[in-house]
Amino acid sequence: MRGLIAATALLAGVHAAVDPIVIKGSKFFFKSNGTQFFMKGVAYQQEINSNSTSSSNDPDAIKITDPLADPTSCARDIPILKKIQTNTIRVYAIDPTKDHSACMSAFAAAGIYVIADLSQPGQSINRNAAAWTTDLFTRYTSVVDEMMKYDNTLGFFAGNEVSNQPNNTIASAFVKAAVRDTKAYIKSQNYRPIGVGYATNDDAAIRENMANYFDCGDPNEAIDFWGYNIYSWCGDSSFTQSGYDVQTKNFSSYNVPVFFAEYGCNTPRPRLFTEVGALYGKQMTGVWSGGIVYMYFEEENQFGLVSIGSDGKVQTNSDYDNLSKQIAKVTPTGVNMNSYSPSNTAPAACPKVALGNWEAVASPLPPPANSNLCDCMMDTLSCVVADNVSDKDYGDIFGYICGQANGKYCQGINANSTTGPYGSYGMCTNKQQLSNVLNAYAKGVQGGCGFKGKASTRAAPVATPTGTCSAMLKAAGSAGTGIVSGGAVKPTSSGSSSSSSGSSSQQGGHSSGAAVGLSTPQFSFGIFGLGLGVYVIGAFASGMAMILL
């Protein structure tokens, strides 16, 4: 083990050579030799569960251990992963500010690729108050920038089980907007071709619509691969009893790669992993590109393959032993990239919107996360939220104003396409959105910029916008409901912005200073029909008059 750790340390500054994985049609291939690639994967992350990235937005709610930033642990675990023929690991959350070179190089030397989720708890798309914002775009692209340093990065997940039942499917529109903006960013940075996908749960009521929605329409907005979290093969089941036969048929004409992003039912336990023979056998390899066992570390949810003792040593369990036996039996047979001509090239048809069944509109998607537009908008406001107002107080103000005049003053941040067009500024930071709402209210209500000091008047920094600002604000319109072209733009540390559309980020008539924070709390403001009533009721119940004029 000491030798392996030493070797890992040497690799910290030298990225091991590895053949990148590419996508052609509905399959993965090694780029150089064209051999088809089947994932033999394991989810590799401690102290986080797969659903946390879709349901929690408290950055302190769950402690995260970056699995790619601890060279000693990586070196300890690689031999154990290789004994079960692991060639892929999935990580659910990394810290993009940390150094990952040692672990990534060690994994590369072992022939192990990494598929990384872009979100983390506290910085994710919340299914109950969905939003795609400049803060989230900054988080996502920071992970992309870090992981694109390594050729053994296989791809990215823009979301994991965000929509999990019919009444929250509207959130999928925001995840698809994240896919669109992340793909555009990768292209704008001239990174090598790499896929951006989504990992879905196995909910019978929405799984077909989910797969179709993310694949339909403009390919620049669609997923590049589809991950399926499936736990239907329990115990010594079968291809038909588990429903694998049905899902294999359902995806037989899907035009992008599909694989099990998580699998391994743990009732009963120990897990037998007899599904491995089916997944990598002739019945499934024509459609599926393998899968990722959930998970490496044993924790309270009892899905682990190994336990880590207080001394840091690894103890494998019966699940590990059974997986090892089953994986040793399989040798998936694929096709060669050069001789492969995809027959299933057409995207899926977009699902029809029906209240209570499927509520995500396919087009248009929520607006790109354009921090330049947010800056330009802020520079025209004469009423803004005061700097001393805590973001914990934002909800009351949003709730009160958005409850007036049938939501008239909140059109610019509307996030529910079933009640009207998306607001042009619904992707700005919470403070910028609240300032937009306050300014609209102050224009419509005499003396409306008060709220007992929680709002403040000022001379707008830019009386008459010029250049790109003028064009964008004109496109947004006076109500803030227009469609603004130009793609996603994230703020930089210097206050200027970088674009994912490839166009210049320079513009006339705006000041710098868009927020770059990565932990802005999420609210359900602007989502008419998806939680706004809670804010309106709560605003009055908590004594809203205390903060009014």
pLDDT digits (tens, 9 = 90+) for 122-162: 899 999 999 999 999 999 999 999 999 999 999 999 999 99
Domain contains 354: no
Of the chain, the end-to-end C-alpha distance in Å amounts to 68
Q: Are residues 78 and 192 in the same domain?
A: yes
Q: Are residues 143 and 286 in the same domain?
A: yes
Domain contains 336: no
Q: What is the pLDDT of residue 358?
A: 96
More confident residue, 310 or 490: 310
Q: Is 455's pLDDT higher than 80?
A: yes
Please give the mean pLDDT across all residues of the chain: 87
Q: Is 495's pLDDT higher than 60?
A: no
- On whether the CB atoms of residues 400 and 544 are closer than 8 A, the answer is yes
Domain contains 335: no
- Tell me if the bond preceding 465 is cis, omega within 30° of 0: no
pLDDT > 70: percent of the chain: 84
Q: How far is CA 405 from CA 402, 410, 445, 447, 527, in A?
A: 8, 10, 11, 16, 15
Domain CATH code at residue 396: 1.20.58.1040
Domain contains 346: no
Confidence of residue 49 (pLDDT cuts 50, 70, 90): low
Query: Any catalytic annotation for residue 221?
Result: no
Q: Are residues 313 and 376 in the same domain?
A: no
- On whether the CB atoms of residues 262 and 230 are closer than 8 A, the answer is yes
Q: Are residues 319 and 436 in the same domain?
A: no
Domain CATH code at residue 15: 3.20.20.80
Phi, psi torsion values for 498, nearest 5 degrees:
-115, 140
Q: What is the pLDDT of residue 37?
A: 98
Residue type for position 355 = L
More confident residue, 538 or 66: 66
Q: Are residues 426 and 314 in the same domain?
A: no
Q: Are residues 134 and 62 in the same domain?
A: yes
Domain contains 148: yes
Instruction: Over range 238-265, report the average pLDDT.
Output: 98
pLDDT digits (tens, 9 = 90+) for 267-277: 999 999 999 99
Q: Is 14's pLDDT higher than 80?
A: no
Q: Are residues 526 and 427 in the same domain?
A: yes
Q: Which domain holds residue 457?
A: 371-547
- Picking from 274, 305, 327, the residue at the C-terminal end of a domain is 327
**Total Cβ atoms within 10 A of residue 540:** 13
Q: Are residues 152 and 246 in the same domain?
A: yes
Confidence of residue 48 (pLDDT cuts 50, 70, 90): low
Domain contains 364: no
Q: Is 473's pLDDT higher than 60?
A: yes
Q: Is 453's pLDDT higher than 50?
A: yes
- Picking from 295, 327, 359, the residue at the C-terminal end of a domain is 327
Instruction: Over range 502-529, report the average pLDDT.
Output: 30
Query: Any catalytic annotation for residue 262?
Result: yes
Q: Are residues 193 and 71 in the same domain?
A: yes
Kindly report whether the global pTM for this prediction surpasses the value 0.85.
Answer: yes
Confidence of residue 419 (pLDDT cuts 50, 70, 90): confident
Q: How many domains does the chain have?
A: 2
Q: Is 502's pLDDT higher than 70?
A: no
Q: Are residues 307 and 424 in the same domain?
A: no
Q: Are residues 165 and 281 in the same domain?
A: yes
Phi, psi torsion values for 363, nearest 5 degrees:
-155, 135
Spatial distance between the Cα atoms of 415 and 486, rounded to a whole number of angstroms: 20
Domain contains 506: yes
- Picking from 268, 292, 327, the residue at the C-terminal end of a domain is 327
Q: Are residues 275 and 377 in the same domain?
A: no
- On whether the CB atoms of residues 176 and 213 are closer than 8 A, the answer is yes
Among 47, 146, 221, 262, the active-site one is 262
Among 146, 161, 298, 359, the active-site one is 161
Q: Is 210's pLDDT higher than 70?
A: yes
